[in-house]
Structure 1
Amino acid sequence: MSHKQLKLVTIGGGSSYTPELIEGYIKRKDELPIKEIWLVDIKAGQEKLEIVGAMAKRMVKAAGLDWEIHLTLDRREALKDADFVSTQFRVGLLNARIKDERIPGSYGMLGQETNGAGGIFKAFRTVPVILDIVADMKELCPNAWLINFTNPSGMITEAIKTYGKWDKVIGLCNVPVNAMMKEPELINTTLDHLTYRFAGIDHFHWHRVFDDTGREVTMDIINAIQKGDAALPKNIFNVNFFPEQLEYMRLLPCAYHRYYYREEEMLNHSLEEFAGIGTRAQQVKKIEHELFELYKDPKLDYKPKQLSERGGAYYSDAACEAMTSIYNDKKTHMVVSTLNNGTVPDLPADHVVEVSAQIGAAGAIPFTFGPFQPAERGWLQLMKNMELCTVEAAVTGNYGLALQAFTMNPMIKSGSTAKRILDELLIAHKNFLPQFTDKIKQLEKDGVTVKDDIARTLI
């Protein structure tokens, strides 16, 4: 990348996470020669874009910087000659996530944002949009880097690589960052004295940790987690893993593995919330409202601490660090979604994995992790192939393949109820699923309707 003043574009600029993104840029003002920041959103997000955009301008002004902040609904205008494009959007907004959670919940199944039926449908809605963005980038900013932290991040990065044929992409997740921020203190040390190695796929990885003498301290952290603080993101209910399982694995599972290793307990908690205070998306909608009320304050010119309750802390800061590392060829260790290329030999070389990598001018250079033991290998291969079916169905609109993804997903009990959930979710999200139009019309003709009262009011 030529060293010049930079044009940075964020698609989904009206997100509540944008203040963290701006804070991350300000922290790196001496490393990134920023000229202009473009925040892009859609008509339905215009009000939030204007609120958060005004706050971004206050933050930049308070930092004594002369960066230009542009707010627009015109994606193509923003993308022209961009150097970095970051994506943090949610197709269908939070109401779509509520439907993703409540429709499966109404049948006693998990509807979490990136797991189970909800995660599959988030991919169905998002993949066509990200591929449209990539098509625009090929025309308008062919040399730009795409930094994606739109969930499900791994599947979106897979779609960009496999179907978008765009190589300059890095997928990010805050879960590894969260672990590296919180775990060192559990064993009375700091991150700069530890070496982390992650491998797997997004929201389904494991990691090992070594101290600065080369001694493995993975079990030390496991023991500390079992005794107290699990170092979890805000959005994951804390159920301890079984110690005997971890002692055998000698690996630290991703926080999201609770949905698989402790499926019964996580499902029960999800259904309790469904019947009580509402699903996580309903809770987040309240948090979002409170955040935007704060953002409206003309005196607020810094990221409020309440943003940490949102559940995705460190996403935006990780995006800023990825850009800085590429621009300055810093060769920083980060955990990213990128092409496997033999890093995890249990998966094909030409598909996306989430692994420790060196980030520099050439993008992500992953560190070899090596093969997994049979249990982890089996889980990983199942989940990756479920993702591949999901992404292909999102591109093609093939209903049979969508049903295959549902059947493979461990969070979905296969059978007639699973098919009913699939059909209801297609109806509920029909405005955002053009690839499934013919099937949706047939379902409507057959009289399929959404069972859950709350989800039905959001259609």
Structure 2
Amino acid sequence: MKKNSVLIAGGGSTYTAGIVMMLIENRDQFPLRKLKFYDIDEQRQKIVADACAIIVRERAPEIEFAATCDPEEAFTDVDFVMAHIRAGGLPMREKDEKIPMRYGVLGQETCGPGGMAYGMRSIPAVIQLIDYMEQYSPKAWLLNYSNPASIVAEATRALRPDSKIINICDMPVAIKKSFADILGMKDTDIVERYYGLNHFGWWTELYDKDGNDLMPRLKNHVKKWGYGPAGDACGNPLLADRSWLDTFRKVKDVYAVDPDTLPNTYLKYYLYSDYVAAHTNPEYTRANEVMDGREKTVFSECRRIARNGTAKDTSLESGEHAEFIVRLARALAYNTYERMLLIVPNNGAISNVDPTAMVEIPCIVSKRGYEPLCIGTIPNFQKGMIEQQVACEKLVVEAYREKSYQKLWQALTLSKTVPSAGVAKQILDDLIEENREYWPELK
């Protein structure tokens, strides 16, 4: 079995150590010869890299490990680039979330004005990764986790249409694990049918491997508890954060809008944007939760490992974020024909939606890349929501490409989360002021 060279772009991410742990745990199925980190923030990357160097040395000494901020060194001789970068870091995420709230509009990492602001920063950053990969390792695949995934996917489709990039998201995986917890099953034993956009989709079918329909049992649970556990019990680590528990509970109201399907949790931001805005502290948003929670916990543990010189008793562990991207790399490398949800050009898969839309649907993955499954015609409710959101995402990419103030204003105005063009303009002007270091100058 061929051994692979993997580059993690975003070496300073709090999720990087989890990917390393997953790669090490699965090296019998996806063997590595080399593992590298790349980040533009040397100081932040060093915290994670120093710990991961010890983890690799102790658990998989046969793997060559390196961390660098030099693109040529990083991208030379790699088979896969696993990218999860955050342009502007958490401080800019905090601004994305808090600026819209000045005007009574929800602030969220990937949805609404905050997601568009983040998208304008992410487009050039991800395009740069593609260009580095094609210059130094043109046969490699870029597996992109970087948010906002829908806008990034549209940008790569429009700006680098022939590149070997697959855009992915682990949120459906996390939700599917909640399905499994509710049903008392393994998530790998659930076969799904799903369609939509990233953070904007619906499950239409869920079966076990014997062909038994799981939807009725799940719907009965969702009516009462959403995707959260029954009562106060909570076995899902994701739901330890109050904001995530609220999101999973709120699914019962999102589900009520269309009880024929089961929704992605993020649809609450579009269907209940007033609720979200009213129930969010404008002084302490999700970015503050992450900075005070996950970031401090992970970086503290990484520093402890580096200080002690051993990771034998580490609390760091792999998770859904890591599992999904490793499965995808394995399918591409070893032709396993894995069925996975990917963000890909529609090209008729959803027959009554724009063929150029970047949709999230089941695909079969092999050495040839991915083959989307046919979804067919979808109901008018979902079609209308998808087309409105696709138009927003395309306008953001056009605004970036043309440096157009007008088109970015139109994108914000069209968002289901924004009440009027006037409010959209006020938010946009504030976002421009805070993003001068990252956005092109708009005309």
TM-score norm. by structure 2 comes to: 0.90
1:372 equivalent in alignment to 2:385? no
> Mapping of 1:15-54 within 5 angstroms?
15-42=13-40, 45-54=41-50
For 2:264, which of 254, 267, 271 is the aligned residue?
254
Q: Is the 8 A contact 2:226 2:250 kept in 1?
A: no
Cα deviation, residue 354, structure 1: 0.7
Q: Distance in 2 between matches of 1:244 and 1:411?
A: 15
Which runs of 4 or more aligned residues in structure 1 lie more than 6 Å from their structure 2 counterparts after TM superposition?
A: none
Question: 1:109 — aligned with what?
Answer: 105
Amino acid at match of 1:424: D
Q: Distance in 1 between matches of 2:163 and 2:353?
A: 19
Cα deviation, residue 247, structure 1: 8.0
Cα deviation code 1:170-218 (max 9, x no counterpart): 1111111012212023123333442111111100011121233434322
Cα deviation, residue 284, structure 1: 0.9
Q: Distance in 2 between matches of 1:318 and 1:204?
A: 19
Cα deviation code 1:231-281 (max 9, x no counterpart): 4854533343456964854111001011122222222112xx224xx1111
Percent identity between the aligned chains? 25
| Higher deviation after alignment, 241-250 or 174-183 | 241-250
1:219 equivalent in alignment to 2:227? no
Cα deviation, residue 324, structure 1: 0.9
Question: 1:424 — aligned with what?
Answer: 430
How much is the aligned-residue C-alpha RMSD, in angstroms?
2.2
Q: Distance in 2 between matches of 1:187 and 1:47?
A: 44
Question: 2:3 — aligned with what?
Answer: 5
Q: Is the 8 A contact 2:166 2:342 kept in 1?
A: yes
Structure 2, unaligned runs of 5 or more = 229-235
Q: Is the 8 A contact 2:254 2:263 kept in 1?
A: no
Amino acid at match of 1:418: A
> Mapping of 1:429-448 within 5 angstroms?
429-433=435-439, 435-436=440-441, 439=443
Question: 2:71 — aligned with what?
Answer: 75
TM-score norm. by structure 1 comes to: 0.87
Q: Is the 8 A contact 2:340 2:364 kept in 1?
A: yes
Question: 1:453 — aligned with what?
Answer: none
> Mapping of 1:228-267 within 5 angstroms?
228=225, 230-231=227-228, 234=239, 236=244, 237-238=246-247, 239-241=249-251, 246=256, 248-267=258-277
Q: Distance in 2 between matches of 1:259 and 1:306?
A: 31
1:147 equivalent in alignment to 2:143? yes
Question: 1:443 — aligned with what?
Answer: none
For 1:274, which of 282, 285, 288 is the aligned residue?
282
Equivalenced residues, count? 425
> Mapping of 1:13-412 within 5 angstroms?
13-42=11-40, 45-207=41-203, 208-228=205-225, 230-231=227-228, 234=239, 236=244, 237-238=246-247, 239-241=249-251, 246=256, 248-270=258-280, 273-275=281-283, 278-287=284-293, 288-298=295-305, 299=308, 301=311, 314-412=320-418
Question: 1:451 — aligned with what?
Answer: none
Q: Distance in 2 between matches of 1:73 and 1:346?
A: 45
Q: Is the 8 A contact 1:31 1:328 kept in 2?
A: no
Amino acid at match of 2:301: L
Q: Is the 8 A contact 1:204 1:256 kept in 2?
A: yes
Cα deviation, residue 165, structure 1: 2.1
Q: Is the 8 A contact 1:48 1:292 kept in 2?
A: no
SS of equivalent to 1:85: strand
Relative distance call for 1:241 and 1:179 in structure 2 (3 A) is: closer
Q: Distance in 1 between matches of 2:255 and 2:321?
A: 30
Q: Is the 8 A contact 1:23 1:303 kept in 2?
A: no
Cα deviation, residue 393, structure 1: 1.4
Structure 1, unaligned runs of 5 or more = 440-459
Relative distance call for 1:296 and 1:126 in structure 2 (3 A) is: same
Q: Is the 8 A contact 2:255 2:262 kept in 1?
A: no
Q: Distance in 2 between matches of 1:32 and 1:412?
A: 45
Q: Distance in 2 between matches of 1:142 and 1:291?
A: 33
| Higher deviation after alignment, 368-377 or 161-170 | 161-170
Q: Is the 8 A contact 1:17 1:307 kept in 2?
A: no
Q: Distance in 1 between matches of 2:155 and 2:407?
A: 16
Cα deviation, residue 24, structure 1: 1.4
SS of equivalent to 1:111: coil
Q: Distance in 2 between matches of 1:326 and 1:6?
A: 11
Amino acid at match of 2:376: G
Q: Distance in 1 between matches of 2:137 and 2:254?
A: 51
SS of equivalent to 2:221: helix
